[in-house]
Structure 1
Amino acid sequence: MASIEHVAVEAADPTAAESFYSTVFGLDSEVRPRLSEAPTTGFRGFTLSLVVPQPATVNGFINAALDAGATTLKPAAKSLWGYGGAVRAPDGTICTVASSTKKDTGPASREIDEIVLQLGVADVAASKRFYVERGFAVAKSYGRKYVQFAEPASPIKLALYKHRDLAKVAGVSPDGSGSHRLVLGSDAGPFTDPDGFTWEATAP
């Protein structure tokens, strides 16, 4: 079963980006910034999403991100599905933090239940087939709207969202061009998917 080992966020200042993800979210090995000045504008087509236990934890992570230079895209708030918000990291990556519960059950912590990399794609069904053919196992599937893959040993889960719908969730315009500024490290790589997301092979 295929899995994601890490994501390489491409940034003009990888040292600053590495400090941001480590200090704010504690993502030392999962997110590995690297140098890139490839042209990119608008929505890059993906979000790095953290699923956490409760609203207090959401607020703690988002406040820490803002203190470290991130900007607000969606203020943390209650919704039909829970509680969450979205920020843009200093390197341009969109990060969402959410909880499925709307009430706190204890003091805030830095616990993360899941890290989910959500890719915005043109055709969810076609991309689902593409990834299944490369060894990814489907955990959740909602028609042509959303798919999440699962590998228990993987630190990062992969999900596919309709491009426009993912931009709406993130609170940004769906328009964008140029590089995704993202490379995914996996035992399934190397390849480039139908939407131009690049994967590289990791050591066995």
Structure 2
Amino acid sequence: MTTTQSRTTVKTLTLEVPDPAAAAAFYAAFGVGDHVAVRAGEAPTTGFRGYTLSLVVSQPNIVDAFVGAALDAGATSLKPAKKGFWGYGGVVQAPDGAIWKIATSSKKDSGPATRQIDDIVLLLGVDDVKASRQFYVDHGLEVAKSFGRKYVEFATDPTNVKLALYGRRALAKDAGVSPEGTGSHRIVVGSDAGPFTDPDGFAWETA
């Protein structure tokens, strides 16, 4: 009898915030409250935290709906939603400091703004994409896409969070912020791989 070993995937995301009640209210209004957890955390952090969270949706009016909801709930606009050669998207920063990109590969609407999320992506800005890629492979993640030292995307189940790696400076530029930053990332990743800290200081715990 042959047994198939399940691959490691990201199952939960927990943001460490100074005011969990306020953060939970923001994420509920934003529309992602079912996808991220919050808990109290006061670890010092300044500047760019080294990651972004992305909502991948199907059309521009859904991007606008999420961006509008985030801004109405107290987020700050880092990049207004607009068309690009890759599609349509914008970037906002939550009151707790987390950076969210909302994007679609489509440039035209084909239906109503349903607020349907197709994918949630945790994009880590790392110092050495190749080294971090190998670290995660050694911890049971399976590479789905790889572009040398520039970008790596790991395989995931449809209901889980997608994990990808990008250079720190490139990710900061994409988010519209300075790459400088120190202190805690203030995000904890939950998986079935067991607790560890990766080469860039991101903390993982058992989901």
Q: Same fold (TM over 0.5)?
A: yes
Measured against aligned partners, the alpha-carbon deviations of 1:74-121 in whole angstroms (never above 9, x if no partner) come to: 000111111000000010000000000111111111100000000000
Partner of 1:117: 122
Alignment partner, residue 201 of structure 2: 196
Distance 2:160 2:31 in 1: 14
Instruction: Confirm or deny: 8 A CA contact 1:5 1:186 kept in the other structure.
Output: yes
Matched residue SS, 1:96: strand
CA distance in 2 between partners of 1:94 and 1:190 (Å):
24
Identical aligned pairs, as a percentage?
A: 62
* Partners of 1:37 and 1:83 in 2: CA distance: 35
Deviations 1:143-169, CA, capped at 9 Å, x for gaps: 111111112255201010100000011
> RMSD value over aligned CA atoms?
0.9
Give the deviation of 1:26 after TM superposition: 3.3
State the partner residue of 1:2: 8
Structure number, greater radius of gyration:
2
Tell me the distance in 2 between the aligned counterparts of 1:164 and 1:23. Answer: 30
1:74 alignment counterpart:
79
- Indicate whether 1:185 and 2:190 are aligned: yes
1:20 to 5, 21, 26: 26
Q: CA deviation at 1:6?
A: 0.8
Q: Which of residues 80, 88, 112 is equivalent to 1:107?
A: 112
For residue 139 of structure 2, the aligned residue among 134, 139, 145 is 134
DSSP-derived class of the 2:37 partner: coil
Q: Would the alpha carbon gap of residues 189 and 88 (structure 1) be closer, same or farther in structure 2, given more than 3 Å must change?
A: same
Kindly indicate whether the alpha-carbon contact (under 8 Å) linking 1:4 and 1:154 is maintained by their aligned counterparts in 2: no
Unaligned runs of 5+ in 2: 1-6
Residue identity matched to 1:24: F
| Residue in 2 that maps onto 1:160 | 165
Gaps (5+ residues) in structure 1?
Answer: none
CA–CA separation in structure 1 for the residues paired with 2:160 and 2:28: 15
Instruction: Tell me the TM-score normalised to structure 2 length.
Output: 0.95
After TM superposition, the score normalised by the length of structure 1 is: 0.96
How many residues of Structure 1 are paired with residues of Structure 2 in the alignment? 201
1:194 partner SS: coil
Moved over 6 A (4+): none
